[in-house]
Amino acid sequence: MQAESEIVVMKFGGTSVAGSDDIRRAAGRIVGARREGKRVVAVLSARGQTTDELLGMAYEVSDRPLAREMDMLLSTGERISCALCAMAIHDMGHNAISLTGSQAGIVTDSSHTKARILDVRAKRIREALTDDRIVLVAGFQGVSGDSRDVTTLGRGGSDTTAVAIAAALGAEVCEIYTDVRGVFSADPRLVAEARLLKMVSFEEMLEMAASGAKVLQLRAVEYARNNGIPIHCRSSFEEGPGTFVLSEEETMERPLVTAVTHSEQEARVTLTGVRDEPGIAGRIFGALAESNVNVDMIIQNEPISEDHKADLSFTVGREDLPTATEVLAGLDLGERILTDERIGKVSIVGAGMRSHPGVAAKVFQVLGDNRINIEMISTSPIKISCVIDAADVPGAVNALHQAFELGEDAVRREDPTGDHRPIIEPGGDGGEPGDERDAA
């Protein structure tokens, strides 16, 4: 039965399944969608701090836990959530089945702890749906097509599981239930006036996720964009409109600046005395890529010193810093390797800045007026990022949010309905991502 009814994929984050009441609340939402006649696949994260606790256990027994075994360990968290939720759904009078990532057909490459999904073989999910079952899939995990080992997808990876399944099943939308109301114009914990955004384009959301917004995992947004799957990000604790992440043609608003994001999770690496000749940068970043280190900002200039040696700086996620320095030391292509873990990054993102000059100048002026020193700058057509001292991040985020008039008040002044965001030149308006990442 129900072979033709709409399929919905609902993902619940760690906070949304933390305690038994939370599991029952999530189960209630899932059953609610089923009662509306939809066929439901739910992807669950590990409960509360489970993933962090599992990581802690690994480091209690080993300084360098084997990546394969780490994945065996970490993948258990999501399985617990799914089994418990299936039980709760049964008690509500519905048929449910929980599946591991592997059972659900999530095939990945073999890079343990940050595997990429290569294929979703959704036959088993489809069969279960046809049997009128609600399907619960353990998020954040898959199985390597080569080694047949269990893999995990990196922190926050359940979002990607959900989007990948939505794409494979041709679902209308991927609903991400979380512990915030949606995507905000800045982290509401830092900025009191941060505004909930009704919709954001994939491109903006990609830049926001890459520059520190934690509401959605970067890879999930990338997958959604590539497959044209709209994401509806909303609270699992209250009713509300949430935020839609859509293609740019579908987002009706086109503000100059949409959001201010920040990150305190990065570190800077500087390699001094790099030889000025062809191929060197290729070797450095090739080796980093091979070791799966994600590099963000890269700064290098033509050397002006007599000996023609350059300094090369780049930023990486803090967790990748040991690997990055190890890789550089092994290459022996520079004189000294310096690291700085005290950096912060503040960014503004907005599709509208693509065609408006003066946005970068305004960002720098605002930071200057607030006596905040800029250490590195990088831009994309719709993003401007500045590396600053970590201690300056809260001040910088607030100053930019205010200067670009992204808050509730600014919008109400322009438009009493609060429905429409006008383009304010050259300041713009708009908002960014909340924050969150349900516990883990």
- Contacting positions for Mg ion (CB under 5 A): 14, 45, 438, 440
Q: How far is the CB of 438 from Mg ion (least distance, A)?
A: 5
Q: How far is the CB of 45 from Mg ion (least distance, A)?
A: 4
Which of 179/311 has CB closer to Mg ion? 179
Q: How far is the CB of 15 from Mg ion (least distance, A)?
A: 8
Which of 160/313 has CB closer to Mg ion? 160
Which of 14/334 has CB closer to Mg ion? 14
Q: How far is the CB of 156 from Mg ion (least distance, A)?
A: 6
Q: How far is the CB of 186 from Mg ion (least distance, A)?
A: 21
Which of 157/242 has CB closer to Mg ion? 157
Question: Nearest 5 degrees, angle CA 249-CA 250-CA 252?
Answer: 95
Q: How far is the CB of 393 from Mg ion (least distance, A)?
A: 23
Which of 12/244 has CB closer to Mg ion? 12
Which of 234/421 has CB closer to Mg ion? 234
Which of 45/236 has CB closer to Mg ion? 45
Q: How far is the CB of 141 from Mg ion (least distance, A)?
A: 12
Q: How far is the CB of 54 from Mg ion (least distance, A)?
A: 12
CA–CA distance, 116 with 151 (Å, rounded to integer): 9
Q: How far is the CB of 187 from Mg ion (least distance, A)?
A: 17
Q: Is there a contact between 263 and 212 (Cβ–Cβ < 8 Å)? A: yes
Residue 244 CA to chain centroid, in angstroms? Answer: 15
Which of 16/201 has CB closer to Mg ion? 16
Main-chain dihedrals φ then ψ at residue 150, nearest 5 degrees: -70, 135
CA–CA distance, 66 with 68 (Å, rounded to integer): 6
CA–CA distance, 126 with 105 (Å, rounded to integer): 11
Which of 17/267 has CB closer to Mg ion? 17
